[in-house]
Structure 1
Amino acid sequence: MSQNSEDRKLKHLFDGGAWNVYEPDILNLGVGAPGTDLLASNCDNFRKATDHCLQRELRDNQSLIFQYGPTSGAYEVRHEIATYFSEMYGSPVKSEDLMITTGATQGLHLLLSTVVDFQGFIFVDEYTYMIALDSMKHFTSLTIVPVKLNDDGVDLKDLEEQVAKRRFDSKTKEFWGIYYTIPTYHNPTGILFSPEICRGIVQLARKYDFLVVCDDVYTILHYGEKPKHSRLMSYDDRSDPNFAGHVVSNGSFSKILGPGVRVGWLEVPPRIKPILDGSGFANSGGCFNNYTAGIVGSLFELRLAQKQIARFYEAYKERMLATTQVLRNELPEGCKLVSPTGGYFIWVRLPDPLDAREFLKYSLEHHKIYFIAGPRFSLDGETGKQFFRLSIAFYPKDKLVDGARRLCHALRDYIKDVS
């Protein structure tokens, strides 16, 4: 093994691989990130917000944006985030419940590090965000347990069975286990958990005293009628007589402003907030992203963030509706598609006994179209071979429509070849 590191001078996360999303002859329908056409206006918006923020720092704040920030983040920034998302969610978000992070993955890592017994359990949907799984696996003493997923959300009976037989009293941490999920426009399946399922999850969390960690990065990206109580957290009502605080909302600006901004937030109940604020992670460096969070605060104050998020939303909506229409019309017989009502992703089921991994090889070789096969989203890396995930985020509508048609054509040819 070489003793020297190679600096490849990469420009972005998707650089350096065989299927770079910026290569013009490749159609990468796997990437869950906004494309260049959406990110471009950030340059002007962030310049204005940076000027606004730094002028105020010099004038009023002793340039403390460059100091170690408060562990939860500056109040003014949390207030701007809380105000905006209270309106978008249609349910209150309190600034005192927020903690600024560098994104949802770091928020998850912080929770795993601080509030869950290291001999405990993480319950996950049988198909879930693959990088979250990768992060969980670094905590080698924690046991990851998959739970059945239905078309309207997690299977409550299976969740209770899995939880009931593993519960124990932790002597070291606030919780013995967590259930990690993406209840609003799920990754990878795109489903929206029903109100009945959300209520059931909260009831089980209270009964067995485990923490529910909701990856809520797609919550405001609804493309039909806005759902009531779109966040699972809203079902853990503080006015309930048995409320104790069992749900966390893990948010991020990565999907709606830009991944490179690296600003997210945790919205947590009172029983958890002091644990996070008092952790070594927070006390060592203060706010995890004090400078950029300040810029984002100005972005909202100037109403530039609101305009940018609205632009992302309209583009995603147009792309999702157009892409799913093509797939509904042109997918071969025997394929199943549940058109998502929001979010980034489309989950396609192939006819039995086809394997999406083999179709991916065919698609790459003959059409240079990439997607992510289902096993990547499962704990064992084998379950879900009949599924694959498409993303609508990165490319403009016309390219997505053309790509969806080409993909359907490739699938028809592939089925003929293997039958």
Structure 2
Amino acid sequence: MEPIDLLIGRPSPRLQAAEKLAAASQIILSQPEKSDCALTYGPDHGEDEIREHVATWLSQKYRPSSGPVTRERTIITNGASGGLAAILQKFTDPLYTRRIFLVDPTYFLAAPSFFDAGFGQKMQGIPEDNEGISIEFLQLRLDEEESKHASTEIGVKLPDHEYKKLYKYVLYMVPTLSNPSGKVMSLHHRKVLVELARKFDILLIADDVYDFLAWPTDNNLSHKGLDLPPRLIDLDRQMPGTSEWGNAVSNGSFSKLVAPGLRVGWCEAMPRFIYAISSYGPTSSGGCQSQYTSFLIDHMLVSGILEQHVNDVLIPIYRKRYNALVKAIKTYLYPLGIKISTGVPYEIAVKDEEGNYTQTMLAGGFFLYIEYPTDDTFPEVMDIVRLGKNEYALDIAPGVIFAVQGDPESLKRAEMTYKRGTRLCWAWNEEEVLVDAVQRFAKIIHQAKESIR
């Protein structure tokens, strides 16, 4: 029995654009005017021309109502993880920043970055609701923090240098096609978050890494030309009252679109915010941390190869895998009481074959979340995990790993809710493997049920 991993969250090797990258590399290295720049230390922000191309591409994809994205709003990073580390280094301080909030269930591999930045005791989960985040819970926690600090000063002076901005709070989330839940945050909740961020001095860190891997739930409609949900930075720029620093940053990555090993990404925010990130220590030491690979991405971007790869290769394959996984779950797991956790579907506009806009729902990304029944006749989570690994060669993650580690309340919430479930990824396995995995899953449940009778 071949092992199957349903936890792994990366594209399968055949979807990594190796041949396209090889061609791009050959072109870059054969042109001295390109290779000389690509192979040396780059500007801290990344090459201006590359930033310009990324900004134009983002403008075309998001079509922000507040106006086109400009070069000054972008910086080239070494991926979303590197971007997150730089943001925390420049705009937070464990003695000044009061809380790090994370939407839970959360992307479990983001947590170490907050721990390493010194926030282990200050991390707190904010539960997800059907629209992406519980606004009421967040408001309550903010009011508690403000009350706690009302009669005392923090006592920490802001650093005396050019970049004098630290945020009192941070909220980390994946608002569109979330990891791990797959949910899309509602427009209403996005707007309220921006309002709260301005009121309480919160930095909204959005991992916008799955936005361009989206498609309509209606299989008769094309995925091209979707109206994507406005990002938090778009709303922060659009809504009256934005500040010179802003209260949101978009953290993006080409890892999901080309290949994870490239380690190329971008951040977009207010120009002053972006300029501050460029002074991040490792960048100041050696310039752009993805100098060579950013040239490869730039070639793919300008030539149209990137869009072709995403639109004609990735999305069609992911869409088929997603449909196969959903069908298998409904066929084999729904009769056992296991359901897909969806939240409120996000409505989008897309053109039909006649060129007219029609309304449908958004799907995509890498993940969906399934929930187990809560009755006593259903097997324990860890029994399912152990049986899957030991007898069916199936890797299933216990839902508790998506809790905010270090926050007892988050762990307690997990026990009552999403611990009884798991994240499933369709990006790594082929369609037939996904169906096989779900069939094994069903057998695991049947066997575990027999053992507790």
Q: One fold, TM greater than 0.5?
A: yes
Cα deviation, residue 86, structure 1: 2.2
d(CA) in 1 for partners of 2:294 and 2:172? 26
d(CA) in 2 for partners of 1:242 and 1:305? 33
**1:313 aligns with one of 315, 319, 326:** 315
**2:41 aligns with one of 56, 68, 74:** 68
d(CA) in 2 for partners of 1:62 and 1:71? 18
**Counterpart position of 2:208:** 216
d(CA) in 1 for partners of 2:239 and 2:386? 53
**Counterpart position of 2:400:** 375
8 Å contact from structure 2 (residues 80, 265) kept in 1: yes
Aligned residue identity for 1:316: Y
8 Å contact from structure 1 (residues 181, 215) kept in 2: yes
Aligned residue identity for 2:283: A
d(CA) in 2 for partners of 1:192 and 1:414? 33
**Counterpart position of 1:406:** 440
d(CA) in 2 for partners of 1:393 and 1:162? 36
d(CA) in 1 for partners of 2:254 and 2:171? 23
**Counterpart position of 1:290:** 291
Aligned residue identity for 2:389: L
State, as a whole percentage, how many aligned pairs show the same letter: 27
- Structure 1 61/45 Cα, relative in aligned 2: closer, same or farther at 3 Å? closer
d(CA) in 2 for partners of 1:367 and 1:109? 38
Q: Does 1:171 align with 2:157?
A: yes
Q: Does 1:252 align with 2:259?
A: no
**Counterpart position of 2:11:** 34
Q: Does 1:348 align with 2:340?
A: no
More moved, 152-161 vs 76-85: 76-85
**1:184 aligns with one of 176, 201, 209:** 176
More moved, 127-136 vs 266-275: 266-275
**Counterpart position of 1:45:** 20
d(CA) in 1 for partners of 2:123 and 2:230? 27
8 Å contact from structure 1 (residues 90, 229) kept in 2: no
Which SS does the other structure have where 1:77 is aligned?
helix
- Structure 1 267/79 Cα, relative in aligned 2: closer, same or farther at 3 Å? same
**Matches of residues 81-120 of structure 1 in structure 2 within 5 Å?**
81-91=54-64, 92-119=68-95, 120=97
d(CA) in 2 for partners of 1:412 and 1:269? 54
8 Å contact from structure 1 (residues 184, 230) kept in 2: no
Report how many residues are paired.
392
d(CA) in 1 for partners of 2:444 and 2:108? 26
Cα deviation, residue 141, structure 1: 4.4
d(CA) in 1 for partners of 2:403 and 2:44? 35
d(CA) in 2 for partners of 1:62 and 1:215? 31
8 Å contact from structure 1 (residues 129, 188) kept in 2: yes
8 Å contact from structure 2 (residues 28, 34) kept in 1: no
Cα deviation, residue 227, structure 1: 4.9
Q: Does 1:418 align with 2:420?
A: no
d(CA) in 1 for partners of 2:272 and 2:167? 11
d(CA) in 2 for partners of 1:295 and 1:330? 43
d(CA) in 1 for partners of 2:298 and 2:91? 28
More moved, 170-179 vs 63-72: 170-179
8 Å contact from structure 1 (residues 205, 212) kept in 2: yes
**1:363 aligns with one of 384, 388, 407:** 388
8 Å contact from structure 2 (residues 181, 423) kept in 1: yes
Gaps of 5+ in 1: 1-23
More moved, 258-267 vs 365-374: 365-374
8 Å contact from structure 2 (residues 267, 274) kept in 1: no
d(CA) in 1 for partners of 2:428 and 2:84? 25
Q: What TM-score does the superposition give when structure 2 sets the normalisation length? A: 0.81
Aligned residue identity for 1:284: S
Cα deviation, residue 81, structure 1: 2.0
Q: Does 1:146 align with 2:125?
A: yes
Which SS does the other structure have where 1:237 is aligned?
helix
Summarize deviations over 1:271-318 as a string: whole Å, max 9, x none: 412211223232111111111111211122222222222211211111
Which SS does the other structure have where 1:214 is aligned?
strand
Cα deviation, residue 137, structure 1: 1.5
**Matches of residues 257-268 of structure 1 in structure 2 within 5 Å?**
257-268=258-269
Cα deviation, residue 216, structure 1: 0.8
List structure 1 segments (4+ residues) > 4 angstroms apart after TM superposition: 167-170
**Counterpart position of 1:392:** 426
- Structure 1 79/242 Cα, relative in aligned 2: closer, same or farther at 3 Å? closer
Which SS does the other structure have where 1:175 is aligned?
coil
- Structure 1 189/217 Cα, relative in aligned 2: closer, same or farther at 3 Å? same
**Counterpart position of 2:113:** 135
8 Å contact from structure 1 (residues 180, 214) kept in 2: yes
Summarize deviations over 1:357-395 as a string: whole Å, max 9, x none: 321111112211112111111124843421211100001
Summarize deviations over 1:200-255 as a string: whole Å, max 9, x none: 11111011111000011111122216454342322213462445511111001111
Which SS does the other structure have where 1:106 is aligned?
helix
